[in-house]
Amino acid sequence: MNIQELRQVLTAFADRPADVNIDKGKLLAQLHDELVEAALSVREGAVWVEEGGQTLSAERWLTHRVARLPLLADRIVQSLHPEPSFVTPGAQLLDDVETAPGDELRTVDDAAQVALNLLSRRPAGTSSVVYLTSDAGEGKTTLINEMAIAQANAFKRKESDWLLVPVTLGGRPFMRLDDVIVSGLLNRYRFSLLYYDAFLELVRLGVVVPALDGFEEMFVETASGEAMSALGNLIQLLNRSGTVLIAARKAFFEYTNPRAQAKLLDALGSASVLFSRLALLRWDRDKFTRYATKRGVQQPDLIYDDVSARLGPDHPLLTRAVLVKRLLDVAENVGDRDALLRTLEPHAEDFFPQFVDAIINREATEKWITNSGEPREPLLSREEHHQLLAMIAQEMWENRVDALSGPVLDSIAELYAEGREKGPDLARQIVERVRHHALIVQNGDGRSFAFDHEEFRYFFLGEAIGHAVLAGRVADIRASLRVGSLVPMAVEGAAAIVRRDPTAAQRVLATLGQCCEAEGSASFARENAGAIVSRLLPIWTDGECIERITFPPDALNVPEIRRVTFERCYFRPTVLPARMESCVFRDCEFERVTVHDGAAYTGAEFVQSVVRSVCRGDEVAYDPGRIIALLQDSKVRVQQQGVLPAASPAPISADGDLVLARRMLKAFMRATELNEGTLRARAGKAANEFVDRVLPALVRAGAVREVDYVGSGQQRRFRLGMKMTELQALDESSQGSFGAFLDAVRGRVGSAGK
C-alpha cells in the first residue's frame, strides 16, 4: 500500500474528504469525532504508521486502529449464536474456470472448510464471487453463521487476517445494497464505525468478505431486474479486487434460459470477476444420525430406519436440515411416534402442512391452555393458530422484514383476539403466549421475533393469501402480491388453501383477474397470480379460461393439463406438461418452450401465439419454421402463426467452428476475463484449431478483445468485445454458420462505431 492508497481508504472512513490531511510524513485525520495524528514512513516500498509509540504497517493500522476489525470480530461472535448440534454438510464443488476449466463437479465432505478455502484465495487483478447454493431449509444460513463465527475466532487468535460478515437479505428485491449492508452492521452487530464506502474499501483489501444471504428472489427471471444491477454495481465498485459470498438457490450461470444468463453477465459491465459454486448436498443417513447423536437423541438409527421405511430415504423429513430438526423435536415430545408417521404417506405432496399441523397440535393441546377458570381449555384451536401465524407472516411480508419487534407482535396478537371476539382475559393470555410459540423464535438482539425458519414464514404467508383469494378480498390480495416474487413455498401454501374448494375455479380466476387488471405487464402481482394458477392447473378440468396472466418460469411443468384455455397470457421459459389434452393457447407469447422427448399431445392448439424458441432433447430452435416443426412433431396443432413462415422440418446444425465459438462463449459465464490457457483447456482436443483459426477470427470481428494479462508468466487474456445478449442474438440469426455469425458481428460493431 502506498501513500495515495492510504489516503483513499482513510477518506472513505471520514465524514468529508477535507478531514484527511497527509503532508510531509505527517497524517492528521478527523474520524468519527476523533482526531487522529500519526507519523508516516516508507520502508522497502511499504508504508508504516507510527501512533502513540506503536509502529504498524499501513494495512494493519487501518484494519485494527481505524476499522476496528477486532471489535467487529467480537460483535460477530456475540451476535451469531452457534448451533450446538451443527453438522457440516457435504457439497458439490464447481471451482472457478481458471482453476478448473472443465464443467466437472467434485464432491466434498466438509462444505464449511472448502468454502473458507475458496474465500481465502484473493486472486490478483480480479474480483471473486463464490456461490453457496441449495434449496430452502438445507442449511445455507446456518453454515454461513458457523463459518463467520469460526473465522472471527481465528481472526481473534491471529490465525487469519480477514472476517466473514453475514448480511441477511431475506430474498427481497432491493434498490440500495448500501442501506442493507450498513443497517445490518448497525442493527445486527451493533457496529457503527463503517460507512458503505469504508466497508467496500475493506472488501477490496481482502480483510472483509460479505456473505449476502438470500439473493434468490433478485434474479432476472423475476419481474424486476434489481438483483442484476445490485450484483453488477457491487462487482464494478470492487474494481477487480475483493471476494463476495452469495447464498442463493442457484447461481446465475445455472439458469436454463440463455437470455437470462446473458442479461446478468451484461450487468457486470467491464468488471473482471471469477465465479465458483458450492452446491450443498442433502443429508444422508450419516448426517442424520450424527446430528441426532449430538442432540442426545436415543437410538437415532432406529428413528431413521422407522421414518425411512415409511417415507423413503430421500424424503425431505430425512434430508433437509430444518425438517430433521423439527422431526426430532416431535419425536422427543410425542409418545406415539408411529401415529405421526402414519399420517405422512410416502412421497405425499402435502407432507409439510401435516408436519406443521403436528407441531401446532401439540401447542394447542398441551401448551396454549387457559390459566383461569375450569375446565382448563385450549386458548386457540388448531385452525386459529394457523390464522394467527398467517397474520404475523403477512405483516412481515408486506413490511419487507424478517422479524417483528415485540410491541408489533403483541399488537397483531391483540388485533387477532379482538377480531375473534375473545374476552379480555383470553386476549391477554394470547398476547403473552405468542412470543413463546413453538414456531416463533427470539432474535439475537433480544428485541425482535421471527419464525423459526423462513419456510414456516412463507408457508403461513401462503395460507394468508390463499384465504384472501377464496374470500375474494381483492385489496388484501393485491397488497400481498405486489410486494415481490413469492417463493414456491408461499405459492404452494396459497394453492393448497384454494384446492380445498374444488368448485371455486371460476371465482378464483375472476378474483385474480380483478387483482391484475390495473397492473403493468412487469408487475409482481401478475406473475404471482400466474404462479398460484399454475399450481391449480392439474385439478382444473371443466373448461376453465385463463386470461391476461403472466406465468413465471416452468409454470406449465406439471404432470398433466386437461381442458384449459389460455388467452393473451405471457409465459416465461417453461417445460410443457408430460400430458396435455384439449388445451388451447390463443394469442399467447412464450419466451421459450421445452418439449419432452416423445411427447404426443391430444387436442393441443397454439392459435395466433408467438413462441420465441423451442428446446427438445439437445436441440434448441430459434428458426420460426423449425419451431413450428418441433411443436407439430409433438402433435401440437399450430394455427395462423401470423408472420411465421411455413414449417421447415429439417433441424439447423451449427458448423464445427461455431460449435467451438459457442463453447468459448459459455466459458465467459463463469469469468468475465479468461486466459488463453483456460480457453485451450475448454476446447479440448480442438485446442490448436480453436486458437489458430477460430479465436483470431473472433478477435478480428470484434466479438472478443484482448486485455492486459495480470499474473506470472506470459500469455494472452481475453474478454467479450460486446454484450453477451447481442452475441446470442447474432448466433440465433446465423443459421448455424460461423461465417454468417462473424459477418453479423462485424456489421454490429461497424454500426456501433458510426
Model pTM score: 0.76
Q: Which amino acid is at 392?
A: I
**Cell 469525532 found at:** 33
Q: CA 122 to CA 136: how far, in whole Å?
A: 29
Q: CA 480 to CA 718: how far, in whole Å?
A: 46
Q: CA 261 to CA 620: how far, in whole Å?
A: 16
The DSSP secondary-structure symbol of 271 reads -
Quickly count: other Cβ atoms within 10 Å of residue 435's Cβ. 14
**Cell 437470455 found at:** 259
599 and 618 in contact (C-beta within 8 Å)?
A: no
Q: CA 47 to CA 234: how far, in whole Å?
A: 28
Q: Which of 69-73, 98-102, 412-416 is least confident?
A: 98-102
Q: Is pLDDT at 219 greater than 70 in this prediction?
A: no
Q: CA 669 to CA 261: how far, in whole Å?
A: 7
Q: Is 336 exposed, middle or buried (CB count within 10 Å of its CB: 0-12, 13-18, 19+)?
A: exposed
Positive or negative, the Cα torsion across 267, 268, 269, 274?
A: negative
543 and 562 in contact (C-beta within 8 Å)?
A: no
What grid cell was written down for 652?
A: 439447423
Q: What is the mean pLDDT of residues 558-586?
A: 89
Of residues 718, 741, 717, the one with CA closest to residue 729: 741
pLDDT band at 217 (very low <50, low <70, confident <90, very high): very low
Length reported for the chain: 754
- Compute the mean pLDDT over every residue in the chain, rounded to the nearest whole number: 84
**Cell 486485455 found at:** 707
Quickly count: other Cβ atoms within 10 Å of residue 74's Cβ. 16
Question: Would you identify the CATH topology of the domain 72-280?
Answer: Rossmann fold (3.40.50)
pLDDT band at 752 (very low <50, low <70, confident <90, very high): low
Of residues 229, 223, 248, 249, the one with CA closest to residue 481: 223
Of residues 10, 3, 4, the one with CA closest to residue 197: 10
pLDDT tens for 297-325 read 888 888 888 888 877 888 888 888 888 88
Q: CA 16 to CA 32: how far, in whole Å?
A: 11
Q: CA 718 to CA 478: how far, in whole Å?
A: 48
pLDDT tens for 676-698 read 888 888 888 888 999 999 999 99
The pLDDT assigned to 232 comes to: 75
Q: CA 468 to CA 477: how far, in whole Å?
A: 6
pLDDT band at 177 (very low <50, low <70, confident <90, very high): confident
Pairing of strands 619-621, 614-616: antiparallel
Of residues 216, 76, 209, 65, the one with CA closest to residue 150: 76
What lies within 8 Å, CB to CB, of 560 at 6+ separation is 538, 577, 578, 579, 580, 581
The pLDDT assigned to 261 comes to: 67
119 and 107 in contact (C-beta within 8 Å)?
A: no
Name the more confident of 363 and 78: 78
pLDDT tens for 600-636 read 788 889 998 988 888 887 677 777 788 888 888 888 8
The pLDDT assigned to 414 comes to: 92
pLDDT tens for 458-513 read 999 999 999 999 999 999 999 999 888 888 889 999 998 998 887 888 889 889 88
The pLDDT assigned to 410 comes to: 92
Strands lying side by side in the sheet with 550-551: 550-551, 570-571, 589-590, 610-611
Looking at 80-219, list the stretches that DSSP marks H as alpha helix, in order from N- to C-terminal side. Answer: 111-119, 140-156, 177-187, 196-205
What lies within 8 Å, CB to CB, of 709 at 6+ separation is 675, 715, 716, 717
Pairing of strands 593-594, 614-616: parallel
Of residues 452, 53, 47, 111, the one with CA closest to residue 278: 111
Q: CA 433 to CA 369: how far, in whole Å?
A: 10
pLDDT band at 579 (very low <50, low <70, confident <90, very high): confident
What grid cell was written down for 632?
A: 407439430
Rg of the chain (C-alpha set): 29
pLDDT tens for 112-125 read 999 999 999 888 88
Of residues 524, 513, 442, 448, the one with CA closest to residue 483: 524
Q: Is pLDDT at 108 greater than 90 in this prediction?
A: yes
Q: Is pLDDT at 569 greater than 50 in this prediction?
A: yes
At 607 the three-state DSSP class reads strand
The DSSP secondary-structure symbol of 96 reads -
Residue ranges covered by each domain of the chain: 3-59, 72-280, 285-343, 554-652, 656-753
pLDDT tens for 132-154 read 988 777 888 899 999 999 999 99
Strands lying side by side in the sheet with 584-586: 544-547, 564-567, 584-586, 605-607, 637-639
**In sequence order, what E strands does 480-587 have?**
544-547, 550-551, 560-562, 564-567, 570-571, 574-575, 579-581, 584-586
CA dist 540 → 259, 508, 582 (Å): 32, 11, 12
Q: Is 192 exposed, middle or buried (CB count within 10 Å of its CB: 0-12, 13-18, 19+)?
A: exposed
pLDDT tens for 700-736 read 999 999 988 876 677 888 999 988 888 888 887 787 8
Q: CA 717 to CA 674: how far, in whole Å?
A: 6
The DSSP secondary-structure symbol of 639 reads E
137 and 320 in contact (C-beta within 8 Å)?
A: yes
Prior bond of 375 cis (ω within 30°): yes
Cα end-to-end distance, the chain, whole Å: 42
Q: What is the mean pLDDT of residues 72-91?
A: 91
pLDDT tens for 39-56 read 999 988 889 999 888 899
The pLDDT assigned to 477 comes to: 92
Pairing of strands 593-594, 574-575: parallel
Give percent above pLDDT 90 in the chain.
27
Strands lying side by side in the sheet with 20-23: 20-23, 26-31, 34-43, 46-51, 54-57
Question: Would you identify the CATH topology of the domain 656-753?
Answer: Arc Repressor Mutant, subunit A (1.10.10)
The pLDDT assigned to 218 comes to: 45
The pLDDT assigned to 119 comes to: 94
Q: What is the mean pLDDT of residues 735-743?
A: 87
The pLDDT assigned to 163 comes to: 95
Identify any residues that bridge with 30 across adjacent strands, giving them in sequence order.
35
Residue 277 host element (H or E): strand 273-280
